[in-house]
Structure 1
Amino acid sequence: MRDDVHPVSPAAANRSKAWPAPAIQKAHERSETFGLRASFRPDYDILSDTGLALKREQNQVLCAHAMPVMETLREQIVNTQSMIVLTNAEGLILHSIGDDDFLHRAEKVALRPGANWAEDRQGTNAIGTSLAEGCAMVVHGDQHYLAANRFLTCSSVPILDPYGDLIGVLDVTGDHRSYHQHTMALAKMSVQMIENHLFSTAFRDVLQVSFHGRPEFLGTLMEGIIAFTDDGRFLSANRSAQFQLGLSLAALRAHTLSSLFQISYAQLIDRLTHGVAPHLMLNLHNGAVVCARGQFRRASFGLERGAVDVQGAAAPRPVCAKARQPAAGLSRLSDLDTGDARVSALIAKVRKVLGKDIPILITGETGTGKELLAQAIHNDSPRRDGPFIAVNCASIPESLIESELFGYEEGAFTGARRKGAIGRLMQANGGTLFLDEIGDMPYSLQVRLLRVLQERMVTPLGAMRSVPVDVSVICATHRNLREMIAQNQFREDLYYRINGLAVRLPALRERSDLAVVVQKMLQWESVESGGRQALSVAADVMAAFGRHAWPGNCRQLANLLRTAAAMVEENGVIRWEHLPDDFLEDVRGAGCGGDDAGQGDSGVSAVADVANADALATGEASVRDGARLQDVAASVVAMTLARYGGNVSAAARALGVSRNTIYRRMPAAQSQSGRSAEKD
């Protein structure tokens, strides 16, 4: 090092002793122990291109997840005389992006890829000091130990791997004259995004529980995420989860799913698979209640292939060999041909292109069964013995889609697969790749997918060579891709590449085969319950089904029937009282029928019929004689409530009606009871 550059006054040289921040003071003291002097200009030791390439390869997973986030951050701070830097755990700069003119200035102090910014090389600086302190650091202007670096203001945040180990630093550096206090907040949010992506990828094969005290924060950076083994043992938690639980990662390792959320592993999986609510409500170990959702790979539980993101509700999904195959399944095209003319015509078109390497694009509203159709196409094709790989482009974070589709080579990242990861394209080799919600694929990635579809070659992230793949591609979307093309949101060349045969699945309300679809779903549910009970739907309920709009289409119908099937009595007939309250409210609001829908006096009649039978059996014929129908209903409700000590559920079961019917008749029943008491 040289001592003849940037002479510094004694006062300036000793400023470190006056800084109020203890961390800065300690950093300056460490700098002195390293033998540095404030006036030194380091002899920068920059790695060769080969050496830098090796370091990037060793930190491949970190780079793959961080680079897209860095690009997003760059858009937020563009034209602010700044740059974004990514380092490894030793402070070596792996990548940097930013304003060109500032990048040129930064190169004068070796703030560039291949340079090391650890404290023993550069003295007090945000990168090296955040690594030394293990926390976020801002080092502004004269707080830098070396005078050469004092034109900088740097905000650095350590990046932790899914097990809590430090693996790198994200830094935003700018001119010290244009420092903004919000820069650190942006850096912290970016690191949180990187860490969450790393976490989701590392634990993709196990149960992940996401939670927050407020439902609107689910799916955001604020949600806590915890990973568990298939017997409920704790694996790891992200920073937000540690904060919400008030426990460190070390303390959490002593916990299990049951001790943290007051629910057993089997109970949680059952609620995730069969629930109908938009999210779960779970109790924390400290008594707080949080909203939660779960994500797990069903193959881990002997269910079916593919990752499932469940928010309290599970849609019927395509089945694979040796997995959840119902006797009346929907795994072949013939199974889906249930009598609707439009569906029959669609299936006829599809059969003509099977095995002809013609891509198929399935459109239709959400929940119409696009994935079921894709699975059936695969099962009837010459590729039926190959894999069927489904990728939901809308459910994977944007920065992870590339590694999910194309895979990545081996890296030295803690928690990542030691031999890298095979992407979904290569997993589908010899079979069918189903890209659901293709309209949600990032625009920047569409060109790479197009190249793969044209050349049938895949290049994993970090790889130096391409691998040939043989896949049949089926895409699906609920979006209007032509409108997206006009708005420059979807590539026209990719559209024509995936649109060999376009077919539209009609909405459930448009179909003429609702009764057959219901029957097949009930047969499926009967098999799922062990075949112990034949299921059917009461005529008035089925009539209301036919008039309902079904905004959630087949997915909504399947969830409703699953819930009803769990509540039916021994005769297996689904009636109004077996249906969820939210559906009854929708039906009632639309006037679709049923006692809970408020259709005429059907609820009164149901109670009155019981009243007549009950009166004859007990000799209380005066209940009927000369009484209005409403009064008869009120009387029998009052009598039944009294008989069951005011227990509404018991009274509803005894009368064979829903609790809502009882509640609606209770005021009249109470009034009727009062008049009877006065008469006595």
Structure 2
Amino acid sequence: MSISHHVPATAGSWSTPTALPCMQHPARMEQIEQSHQRCAALGLTRVERPDFEPLMRSDLSVARERNHRLFTHAAPVMEMLFEQIVDTESMIVLADAQGTILHSVGDDRFLERAGKVALAPGVNWAEHSKGTNAIGTALFQESPTVVHGGEHFIHANNFLTCSAAPIFDPRGNMLGVLDVTGDHRAYHQHTMGLVRMSARMIENQWLSDDFGNRLRLHFHSRAEFIGTQLEGIIVVGADGKILGANRSAIDQLDMSSAALRMHSLTSLFGTSVSAIFDHFRVPLPTPACLSLASGRQFFVNARFNGPRAMMAGMEVDAAGAPGGPANASVRAGAVAALPGASTPAPGSSLSGLHYLRTGDPQIEAVVQKVQRVLNRDIPLLILGETGTGKELLARAVHQDSNRAKQPFVAVNCASIPESLIEAELFGYEDGAFTGARRKGACGRIVQANGGTLFLDEIGDMPLALQARLLRVLQERCVTPLGSQKSISVDIAVIGATHRNLREMIEAGTFREDLYYRLNGLVVRLPALRERCDLDIVAQRILLAECPQGTPMIAPAVAALFGRYAWPGNIRQLANVLRTAAVMAGGEAQITEHHLSDDFLEDAQRLRVPPAATPPAHPIAAQEGAPGRAFAPEAAPASGMPPAAMASPEPSLAPEGAAARTLEEAEIEMIRAAVAAAQGNISVASKRLGISRNTIYRKLRWK
């Protein structure tokens, strides 16, 4: 959403505010004329004085409380949108479904000017109150609306240019309106696009909040648009019935929300829930291709963020923070499964520990250790950098355990706001706090009852909650917020972190007794730059992306990969290869021409130091059989340091100057990527293949 918002005004444009030529579409002008006719029929006059009698403070508080959930989803989006239009004589407005302004942010000077026409919280801007204006007219038309300059019915508002988009829930009910208002002399045609995109972000967050435990299909007619704000999302019940959809889905399918909810997966796409699950059961599934009765085709990915994923390979996002980094897809879960071993026997699980074996001695040592403690009720603590596959290992342990048929619930302690993590973990009763759902919620620990609770980034859990978690682990009972009753739970606990918990204990930011409760067996997953199986991992990625006609990697690219430091680890490698496979378009080899420019720039800058790039391990060198991902004469992939080969025993935290140098190198890589992106954290995170939160966290701690 980083685009230019406004253009400089000309000196003479203030005196005669009229519609710009680019806005004089006949249908749009007819809508404005119809709005003027409605206003005249309501008895409004064009010389109405602004109504400076907003709701009383108590009534505004009631309106805000009634729309608390809308505000919760909209406020961060409004702040993000404001970053795009700051210093442009503009403001952002959120109104409820009746047209009452609930919240506004903007440039101070323009907020003062807007206040002179009562464009402020507590004032109603429906058409019957303020005549033709973007907020009120968008509410009436239930569609995005631009009202510019003299198109406003009331003359006092002619200095404004307003772009508004309605916000709908997944069932098509109007929730409110998001609006950007500015000086009419500085109108820019891209403003409406920003507003519509922001409204869709709010709608998608609402949908995730409503249907976090349902199957969701994310689709678009172009595969590259899946995962963007342009993707359509439909929610599917266990019986295949369509429960809801976002605005993009309704637009793409060209039917109303009510009409769409009359369909099932079978009547809409000619498929079933079980067929969807079967398609996405394997690691790294390709998008499904589904067709409407008309023959129009869509590429589809599936997501299921709930307590029971109904399939071993499907990602369960138990963090549940709307729009947060924990909202992972089936594809993201499959990407985590990339450090694969040799092809398992037919009928065997693709997500068990045997699938992790790649010939890398460090990974082999981890697998052997974990196998010895399976079903022994011994807690597991997994250490490793972001993107190394910590959750994959946790899932593999769960899949091979006696609890495999019970829930696997993952909680990312770093992605849930501190104010919500207690309620998310322990659950709450109805009315336990403002904004709590009716009938309460059982919490992630109870959801994991009988199965496995995976506490990712456990080092980021607030200190106050560590005591409550310790009590749960000791007593195996949970007391939800606002309740007097305890609920017994039977769970296996696996923790994971990239942080040094011993240092945190010494600093007083992590409880020592909780550490020893989690520290039954500690294993460390090596970074990709420390492993000797880069070629095998790359092979599995390409086999999954291109099951027919799998391309090989050209020698020059293989050498480039071997020299690269891979700060985003396997997740980043998967992103690079997926893009390259699409660019190759069926060609026999992936060459440098198929790699994205930003990756090539990073590869020149972020290299593994020569001392940290020993020859590949002999086991990996023997993988040169037919089907190998790297082309003949490819340079060897980066291996692990000799010290690690000689002693693969993982420890809680690396010690010594060499380990500290690696950590410093990682921070330096991130800083370099941020600098190359000119401070744009979103761009840097995409280039590195790591989340924005990880970048913020690492740079803040250093």
- Matched with 2:242 is 234
1:54 aligned residue? 62
- Calculate the TM-score normalised by the size of structure 1: 0.57
Relative to structure 1, the CA distance from residue 78 to residue 467 in structure 2 (aligned partners, 3 Å threshold; closer, same or farther) is farther
Partner of 2:623: 592
Q: Structure 1 residue 306 and structure 2 residue 316: aligned?
A: yes
Q: Is 1:215–2:223 an aligned residue pair?
A: yes
After superposition, where does 1:305-384 map in structure 2 within 5 Å?
306-307=316-317, 309-311=329-331, 314=334, 343=366, 362-364=383-385, 366=387, 368-370=389-391, 372-373=393-394
Structure 1 position 86 matched with structure 2 position 94: yes
Give yes or no for contact 1:31–1:120 (8 Å, CA) kept in 2.
yes
**CA displacement at 1:190 relative to structure 2:** 0.5
Q: CA deviation at 1:80?
A: 0.7
Cα distance in 1 between the residues matched to 2:378 and 2:624:
47
1:616-646 per-residue CA deviation (whole Å, 9 max, x = no partner) reads xxxxxxxxxxxxxxxxxxxxxxxxxxxxxxx
Alignment correspondent of 1:266 = 274
1:321 matched residue in structure 2: none
Matches within 5 A, 1:474-493: 474-476=495-497
- The 1:211/1:395 distance shift into structure 2, 3 A limit, reads farther
Q: Cα offset for 1:159?
A: 0.7
Q: How does 1:28-43 map to 2 (within 5 A)?
A: 28-43=36-51
One-letter amino acid matched to 1:136: P
Query: Does the Cα contact within 8 Å between 2:390 and 2:496 map onto a contact in 1?
Result: no
Tell me, yes or no, if structure 1 residue 551 matches structure 2 residue 537: yes
Kindly indicate whether residue 207 of structure 2 is the aligned counterpart of residue 199 of structure 1: yes
Determine the C-alpha separation between the residues in 2 that align with 1:595 and 1:43: 78
* Structure 1 residue 274, shift from structure 2 partner: 2.6
Matches within 5 A, 1:584-663: 592-594=623-625
Residue 407 of structure 1 deviates from its aligned partner by: 8.6
Corresponding residue of 1:125: 133
Structure 2: gaps spanning 5 or more residues: 1-15, 318-327, 338-347, 355-360, 470-480, 501-506, 555-587, 590-620, 631-702
Deviation of 1:69 after TM superposition, in Å, equals 0.8
> Is structure 2 residue 154 aligned with structure 1 residue 146?
yes
The residue identity in structure 1 corresponding to 2:164 is S
**Residue 424 of structure 1, CA deviation:** 4.9
CA contact 1:342–1:506 (8 Å) conserved in 2? no
Shift of 1:186: 0.8
Amino acid at match of 1:62: L
1:210: Cα distance to partner? 0.9
Cα pair 2:87 2:107 within 8 Å, conserved: yes
Q: Could you say what secondary structure the match of 2:280 adopts?
A: helix
Give the C-alpha shift of residue 44 in structure 1. Answer: 3.1
Q: Give 1:134 deviation, angstroms.
A: 1.4
C-alpha contact (below 8 Å) 2:413/2:458 kept by paired residues = yes
CA pair 46-427 structure 1, distance change in 2 beyond 3 A: farther
Normalised by the length of structure 2, the TM-score is 0.55
Equivalences for residues 64-83 of structure 1 within 5 A: 64-83=72-91
Equivalent position to 2:293, from 285, 305, 309:
285
> 2:115 matched to 1:95?
no
User: Shift in Å at residue 437 of structure 1?
Assistant: 6.8
Distance change in 2, residues 1:294/1:141 (3 Å): same
Deviation at 1:50, TM superposition (A): 3.0
- Match for 2:526: what amino acid? P
Write the deviation string for residues 275-325 of structure 1: whole angstroms up to 9, x where unpaired.
6433222233322332211012565564579347223985899xxxxxxx9
Deviation at 1:431, TM superposition (A): 11
Aligned counterpart in structure 1 of residue 142 of structure 2, from 129, 134, 145: 134
Alpha-carbon distance in 1 for matches of 2:496, 2:72? 26
Greater C-alpha radius of gyration: 1
Q: Distance in 2 between matches of 1:393 and 1:285?
A: 44
Shift of 1:169: 0.2
**C-alpha spacing 1:595/1:145, structure 2 compared with 1 (3 Å):** closer
The answer to whether the 8 A contact 2:353-2:367 is kept is no
The whole-number CA distance in structure 1 between the counterparts of 2:186 and 2:510 is: 48
Q: Taking structure 1 as reference, are residues 91 and 509 closer, same or farther at Cα in structure 2, changes over 3 Å only?
A: closer
CA 1:509–1:36 in 2, change beyond 3 Å: closer, same or farther? closer
Q: Which of 188, 201, 210 is 2:196 aligned to?
A: 188
SS in 2 for 1:274: coil
Q: Which runs of 5+ in 1 are unaligned?
A: 1-11, 318-324, 332-337, 381-385, 440-445, 458-464, 483-492, 512-545, 564-578, 600-680
Aligned-residue offset at 1:495: 8.8
2:112 counterpart residue number: 104
Q: Is this contact kept in 2: 1:139–1:154, CA < 8 A?
A: yes
Residue matched to 1:45 = 53
Tell me by how many angstroms 1:223 deviates: 1.0
Structure 1 residue 139: deviation in Å?
1.7
Following superposition, the deviation at residue 209 of structure 1 comes to 0.9
Relative to structure 1, the CA distance from residue 452 to residue 215 in structure 2 (aligned partners, 3 Å threshold; closer, same or farther) is farther
- Aligned equivalents of 1:110 and 1:394: distance in 2? 41
Shift of 1:422: 6.3
Report the alpha carbon displacement of residue 126 of structure 1 after superposing the two structures with TM. Answer: 1.3
Q: Is the 8 A contact 1:226 1:241 kept in 2?
A: yes
Do the aligned residues in 2 keep the contact of 1:392 with 1:437 (CA within 8 Å)?
A: yes
Instruction: Determine if contact 1:584/1:597 at 8 Å carries over to the other structure.
Output: no
Q: How does 1:382-397 map to 2 (within 5 A)?
A: 389-391=409-411
CA drift of 1:172 comes to 0.6
Whether contact under 8 Å (2:126, 2:136) holds in the other structure is yes
Aligned: 1:296 with 2:304: yes
Contact 2:172 2:257 in 1 (8 A): yes
Deviation, structure 1 residue 106:
1.9
| 3-state DSSP of counterpart to 2:301 | strand
Distance 2:54 2:523 in 1: 57
SS at match of 2:110: helix
Contact 1:280-1:312 at 8 Å conserved across structures: no
Structure-2 separation of matches of 1:107 and 1:548: 61
Q: Please tell me whether the aligned partners of residues 352 and 397 of structure 2 are also in contact (alpha carbons under 8 angstroms).
A: no
* Residue in 2 that maps onto 1:624: none
Change (3 A) 1:340 1:97: closer
Identity of aligned residues (%): 44
Question: Post-superposition shift, 1:39?
Answer: 2.2
Contact 1:38 1:147 in 2 (8 A): yes
Distance 1:155 1:339 in 2: 57
Amino acid at match of 1:362: L
Distance 2:35 2:423 in 1: 38
Q: Are the structure 2 counterparts of residues 345 and 355 from structure 1 closer, same or farther at C-alpha, using a change threshold of 3 Å?
A: closer
Amino acid at match of 1:53: S
Letter matched to residue 284 of structure 1? L
2-structure distance, mates of 1:82, 1:597: 57
Mapped contact 1:31–1:119 kept (Cα < 8 A): yes
Cα distance, 1:329 vs structure 2:
7.0
Q: Structure 1, residues 357-411: CA drift from partner, whole Å, max 9, x if none?
A: xx9662147464445448969999xxxxx997413589999xx999978999989
Q: 1:80 to 1:232 in 2, by over 3 A?
A: same
CA distance 1:344–1:250, shift in 2 (3 Å):
closer
Question: In structure 2, what residue type is equivalent to 1:70?
Answer: M
Shift in CA distance, 270/377, structure 1 to aligned 2, threshold 3 Å: closer
